[in-house]
Chain A
Amino acid sequence: MSDASSPVPFHSATEEAPVARWLLIGLAFAGLSILVFAPLIAVFVEALADGVAASLKSLASPDAGHAIRLTLTIAAISVPLNAVFGIAAAWFITKFDFRGKAFLITLIDLPFSVSPVVAGLCIVLMFGANSLVGGWLVGHGYPIVFAMPGIILATMFVTFPFVARELIPVMIEQGRAEEEAALTLGASGWRTFWTVTLPNIRWALLYGVLLCNARAMGEFGAVSVVSGKIRGHTATMPTTIEMLYQEYLSVAAFSVAAVLALLALLTLLLKTALEIRHADQLAATHRH
């Protein structure tokens, strides 16, 4: 064969050889298959081990029903509270100049580096029946620990940074000019917020709320410590999974787990859709 009919295998000097490229792609697929896809599939396989009817029946039990309602209630209270905090913190940090700003941002991020178990422990020590504050509250008929308020506090602790850290970079990038223009034109502070700021940050806000919600519904460590895991009373979906699993009720445990896994998948789907459609308005996909 002549040189002209068999070109030398060519690849650009700024790309890896095709062999290396396919090897890396293969490794990525293999790694994620073993580490991520396999556990995800296993949840549904185990949940349906005795058929769909058995799985649905275990979800219809009073304890499972109570756990699902409790988890939804916890998320419905703690996520909006954290959203309000995130918006207020982002407004305070990005619209004003003050000393100690970097320190405040570090404090907001702090819950991400504290173990959920330690977070729960902190809340027990602050509000438990043998603490000063907790003892007083219990004495007046408002128990925090081993009750709903404690679970909400623990959930808020572990999800505290989600909304704020999504909004702060976006609002820094957008600057203050638009709000200043609205104020100059005579709009009130609230009107400026609702009609200028909020439309600018709505997708970033939704993104933060989505991640916050996923974590709020799935939190296990912190909630285990503060809730006491009382069946039909303070047992959330994740702590119910633990109890069922330890009683060797595999199908029931994995059925509750499958509901949470579906929620995780829905979260990822919405998150990916947001990233594709509104990439320019999100901090996660628009980092500089």
Chain B
Amino acid sequence: MGRPLIHRSPMPGLGLSMGITLTMISLVVLLPIGALLLKGASYGPAGIWETVNRERVWAALFLSFRLSFLAATFNLVFGVMLAWVLVRYRFPGRRILDAAVDLPFALPTAVAGISLTALYAPNGVLGALASGIGWKIAYTQWGIFVALIFVGLPFVARTVQPVIEEIEREVEEASATLGASRLHTVRHVILPMLAPAALTGFALALARAVGEYGSVIFIAGNIPLKTEIAPLLIIIQLEEFNYDAAAAIGIAMLLISFAMLLAINLIQVWSRRRIGYV
């Protein structure tokens, strides 16, 4: 116990800044999360399991997780490509494309939700095109997939972009000089350098998609066992004043969030050891 809890420092404002920080984080974040965990504790692990272990709840959790994983995988590939195009190429419209990547962060989820529904519904512009080949998007799992791609779109691109900017051209030149084809260089030299950042972005997109509500509920159709996502199930329980069940599902989702947060931190530690930065 040699290290003191707080090192002495000539900087002013220790008490004030620490006070504001700890008070606000407790009031806004920690106490409410604690209230959920406390509710869960009073309900007991057996009680939580009884609530979660129902066909409808499993279906919702599995659906949320599976589609989130697929959407994050799509964004992993598309995001790395997007980051590459935006950093390495110069073409008319690049600035607009770059700004557009952030739109899913800026556009409220309810707006995105009704707008995607209007587009992909059978009478919408893109929905009509798809139904021409017998492909139904809105009100099916495809619709949820599209909405989750939309909300997760910026994560991978934005984490990978700064890493591409940092890549020394000499590395690529060395690879080319040694006779590697461009494709070989990209696969064996560039992509491994991007992997940690891309994985961080993937995990962030996944975490966001699993909890996403606003952009999904309009396009999902919300049919139990088929297109009902886990967050909607919590809302339904709350509307029936079934707080215990809502808390049980909420705790299950919170545990999934914690697991993903842990995964993100582990990826970053791993990446820092491997290449020195994230």
Contact = CB atoms under 8 A, between A and B. Distances in A.
Interface string B1-37: 0010111011111101110110011001111111110
A117 B11 contact: no
B112 interface: yes
Interface in B71-120: 78, 81-82, 84-86, 88-89, 91, 93, 95, 97-112, 114-116, 118-119
Contact of A115 (B97, B149, B210): B210
Contact of A36 (B110, B153, B253, B261): B153
Interface string B123-166: 01110000000000000000000100110010000100010000
B115 A257 contact: yes
- Judged by DSSP, the binding face of A is helix
Contacts of A156: 28
B35 A131 contact: yes
Interface in A14-38: 14-17, 20-21, 24-25, 27-29, 31-32, 34-38
Contacts of B115: 39-40, 42-43, 46, 254, 257
Contacts of B32: 119, 122-123, 125-127, 153, 157
A202 interface: no
Nearest to A261: B111
A141 interface: no
Contacts of A192: 12
Nearest to A33: B100
Nearest to B150: A35
A242 interface: yes
Interface string A176-220: 100110010000110011000000000000000001001101111
Contacts of A257: 108, 110-111, 114-115
Contact of B253 (A15, A115, A131, A183): A115
Interface stretch (A2-10, A55-63, A89-97): A89-97
Contact of A253 (B114, B210, B260): B114
Contacts of B257: 113-115, 118
B29 A160 contact: yes
A99 B3 contact: yes
A150 to B, nearest CB: 11
Q: Among B25, B107, B126, find the residue whose CB has the most chain A CB atoms closer than 10 A.
A: B107
B116 to A, nearest CB: 5
Q: Contact residue range for chain A? A: 35 or more
A31 B78 contact: yes
A35 B213 contact: no
Interface in B41-72: none
A107 B216 CA distance: 27
Interface in A236-288: 237-239, 241-242, 245, 250, 253-254, 257, 260-261, 264-265, 267-269, 271-272, 284, 287-288
Interface string B210-221: 111110001000
A6 B198 CA distance: 42
A238 B108 contact: yes
B82 A91 contact: no
A131 B149 CA distance: 37
Interface of B: 3, 5-7, 9-14, 16-18, 20-21, 24-25, 28-36, 39, 78, 81-82, 84-86, 88-89, 91, 93, 95, 97-112, 114-116, 118-119, 124-126, 146, 149-150, 153, 158, 162, 169, 172-173, 176-177, 182, 185-186, 204, 207-208, 210-214, 218, 231-232, 234-235, 238, 243, 246-247, 250, 253-254, 257-258, 260-261, 264-265, 277
Given A112-B208, A189-B13, A211-B105, 8 more contacts: A88-B17, A95-B11, A116-B213, A183-B11, A241-B110, A257-B110, A260-B108, A264-B106
